[in-house]
Structure 1
Amino acid sequence: MSSDSYDPSKAAAILFALLYGITTLLHIIQMCLTRKWYCSALIMGGLWETTGYILRIFSVDNPNSEGYYSPMLTLIVLAPAWIAAFDYMTLGRLINTFLPSKSALGLRARRITLIFVLFDILSFVVQGSGSGFLASSDGDNFQIGSYILIGGLALQVIAFGFFTITAVRFDIKYKREFGVEGRERFVALLYCLYVSCLCILVRSLFRIAEFAEDYPGSLSKNEVYFYVLEAVPMLPTLVMFNYWHPGAVLVGEGSSFREEKKRKKRDNTIAAADAGV
């Protein structure tokens, strides 16, 4: 299958490869400085986006080469799942850091994170299966791949619905317990999560509409739709967190599930030793 049924812009592909590459490089530096290793999920999303647009550059020069088109499609389609996982893990850490109960909607922060990440993995696997069909098959198998991919994207949209409810519940619960006092410490990061969710949602709905069409449809034939509804919306999901980085907000007790687990284990060991004295 040809990579595109239209004349794609090499300049646009170069521009977005550079933009995604720069913001991803900054995130790598920020993660190392703040030691927020879970941000590697966001970095993976950025690396997949960057590599996808680099492959798109080569695909423009080699329009009939599946060697560029297939991995390009897979990387750009799946990259948002990494960013969604980062959003889920950030919300869980916000709940764990700023709510004394360390819970929302009756669930502990760690469990909330686990549920959303597992949902994201399921969506990732389904989308990956669909993109594999889409990139390598023709005819009926291509149509099957489109349906599978739509199913994976629909799972992502559903997860974002519950994610938004959980984030709103966290904010309401905090204001109920503390009012607006101290809310300025995390509100910018919370709003970034809302915007990130909205951007990925817009992109997912575009992809659902695109793959629901018979190929090639009006959306897939017009490159403007791809850049306006795919490339542009996904860029802020990375750039925002360069400025409002979780490392500046998620500090102290509760900000790291791993450190909290180590602390509890240490406290239990000390308590057991004291009881044996």
Structure 2
Amino acid sequence: MFLFRLLALPLLVSAVAIQTRTQPQRGPSPTITTTICPTSSAISPNLDLRVRQQVALTTASLDDIDSFTTTILNIIPGRTDSYVTIHPQTIAIAITTCHQTITPDHNGYVPPGTCGAIWTYYPAFKAAVAFGVIFALLLGVHLWQAIIYKKKWCWVIIMASIWETMAFSFRAISTRYQQSEGIYLCFQIFILLAPLWVNAFVYMAFGRIVYAFHPSKSVFGIPAINLAAIFVFLDISSFIIQLIGGGMASPSASAAAQQRALHIYMGGIGLQQCIIVIFLVLCMRFQWQMDQVRAVRGGMLKDLLRAEWGPLQAALYVALCMITVRIIYRFSEFSSGITKGNALTKYEAYFYLLEATPMMFAIFVFNLFHPGRFVREDMPGIWSVFCGKIRNRRGKTPAEGYDGDAYDLDRHKLVEGCNAL
């Protein structure tokens, strides 16, 4: 049930976004008339209040040509006589200027920049289907590996594969229904947020590497259990920020709303990249400490590949590198705002080269080097550790999988090993 709710989250967000935003009118623009009707003299026998109809002076200013809206300013002049004073008023009315004069083709396509256009290029159906099939195959392999290695926590990389598969499924559907904003928004949310699942899986895998192989089960004094929990929490924070930005970036939203959405989303991926940089520092620290403990000589890369945990650690580096490539691509794409002059938004090849392919490799590398092959020891969850500490204070048996005395002994062994080198 929990996995189903996570899977349905982008669909819910897209539905709410479509429900709450103002849909552009496809018909002719309404005629704006401003009238102050005369009042009856029966209000008071001694007060004959007659306000004659005034002619409204109308000026128009195109605030937002990209979103096909205009603001009509109705200026109503004031009137002063012996009975009443009416101050001048200005009424701002936003109306749509979207009049679809071009007949969409059988897939709903209209040229970019015209009324009703969602895509900035003609999206390829076969490419979307091909990548959807690839991610579905990777999903099937991850399901099989999670079962044979009995690693329940690998549901995170499974969710990443599901979201990528859903993203390209909606993209394939959108290529056939290019006038549907709802389908496009579902694709957009899935594709923008799926990499965060891979990020979370990397953090969880590294925590288990530290727990299984590091003598002190910690890096920089941070226990492996807390290490994984901290970075997953930061990843969730980035997830929420990007979800808000992605949900607001609707094709029919105003230019100002789209710009705000892009700023929010870019803030989210900026936070994601900062977390990755900090995480890499911890990875390098762990690798250096393990080299010292094992007294391994030679180059860093050679040491990494020779270690028992090395291939999995290398897989983490590859996945983070692929995610970084994708983040740089998104930064470059959104840095110019919603303007149509950016080449990254005009050609579909950039999307498949810098978004789809890196994420495919980020998921595939864990098929090749699955954590179940390298990490035999299961790390207790943060809740088990918390309950174990409470039981220790009460003089009860610690939670299964957590041994505070062994933890301190391993830390002492690490200090002795480092001093001996």
**TM-score under structure 1 length normalisation:** 0.91
CA distance in 2, matches of 1:260, 1:111: 11
Asked if 1:26 is matched to 2:151, the reply is no
Gapped runs of 5+ residues in structure 1? Answer: 272-277
Q: Which SS does the other structure have where 1:4 is aligned?
A: coil
1:174 is aligned, of 268, 290, 295, to: 290
The residue number in structure 1 matching 2:322 is 199
Q: Which SS does the other structure have where 2:319 is aligned?
A: helix
CA distance in 2, matches of 1:19, 1:209: 26
- Which residue identity lines up with residue 234 of structure 1 in the other structure? M
After TM superposition, the structure 1 stretch with the greater mean CA deviation from structure 2, 34-43 or 16-25, is 34-43
What aligned pairs does 1:59-208 form with structure 2 within 5 A after superposition? Answer: 59-135=174-250, 137-180=253-296, 184-208=307-331
- Which residue identity lines up with residue 348 of structure 2 in the other structure? E
Contact 1:2 1:66 in 2 (8 A): no
Q: Which SS does the other structure have where 2:118 is aligned?
A: coil
CA distance in 2, matches of 1:231, 1:167: 26
The residue number in structure 2 matching 1:241 is 366
CA distance in 2, matches of 1:19, 1:50: 8
The alignment-based identity, stated in percent, is 32
The residue number in structure 2 matching 1:219 is 344
The residue number in structure 2 matching 1:275 is none
Flag the structure with higher strand content.
2
Higher relative contact order (CA 8 A, sep 6+): 1
Structure 1 residues 106 and 221: CA distance shift in structure 2, 3 A = same
Q: Which has the larger radius of gyration?
A: 2
Contact 1:41 1:82 in 2 (8 A): yes
The residue number in structure 2 matching 1:40 is 155
Q: CA deviation at 1:135?
A: 2.6
Flag the structure with higher helix content.
1
The residue number in structure 2 matching 1:51 is 166
Give a deviation string over 1:91-128, Cα, whole Å, max 9, x none: 11101110110111221111111111111011000000
Q: CA deviation at 1:270?
A: 5.0
Give a deviation string over 1:62-87, Cα, whole Å, max 9, x none: 11111210010000000000110000
CA distance in 2, matches of 1:176, 1:251: 23
**RMSD (Å), alpha carbons:** 2.1
CA distance in 2, matches of 1:98, 1:168: 15
Give a deviation string over 1:9-40, Cα, whole Å, max 9, x none: 11110110000110011101111221211111
Q: CA deviation at 1:151?
A: 0.1
CA distance in 1, matches of 2:264, 2:132: 28
Structure 1 residues 66 and 129: CA distance shift in structure 2, 3 A = same
CA distance in 1, matches of 2:147, 2:379: 15
After TM superposition, the structure 1 stretch with the greater mean CA deviation from structure 2, 182-191 or 116-125, is 182-191
CA distance in 2, matches of 1:100, 1:155: 31
Contact 2:196 2:235 in 1 (8 A): yes
The residue number in structure 2 matching 1:274 is none
Give a deviation string over 1:128-176, Cα, whole Å, max 9, x none: 0000111362311000000000000000100110111111111111111
Q: Which SS does the other structure have where 1:257 is aligned?
A: coil
Q: Which SS does the other structure have where 2:307 is aligned?
A: helix
CA distance in 2, matches of 1:149, 1:6: 22
CA distance in 1, matches of 2:117, 2:242: 21
- Which residue identity lines up with residue 337 of structure 2 in the other structure? D
The residue number in structure 1 matching 2:57 is none
CA distance in 2, matches of 1:102, 1:241: 23
The residue number in structure 2 matching 1:251 is 376
- Which residue identity lines up with residue 311 of structure 2 in the other structure? A
Q: CA deviation at 1:259?
A: 10
Q: CA deviation at 1:261?
A: 4.1
CA distance in 2, matches of 1:26, 1:143: 39
Contact 1:52 1:75 in 2 (8 A): yes
- Which residue identity lines up with residue 279 of structure 2 in the other structure? F
CA distance in 2, matches of 1:222, 1:51: 22
Contact 2:225 2:379 in 1 (8 A): no
CA distance in 1, matches of 2:122, 2:208: 45
Q: Which SS does the other structure have where 2:216 is aligned?
A: coil
**TM-score under structure 2 length normalisation:** 0.61
Give a deviation string over 1:242-265, Cα, whole Å, max 9, x none: 11110011103xx32249948x95
Gapped runs of 5+ residues in structure 2? Answer: 1-115, 297-302, 399-421
Q: Which SS does the other structure have where 2:215 is aligned?
A: coil
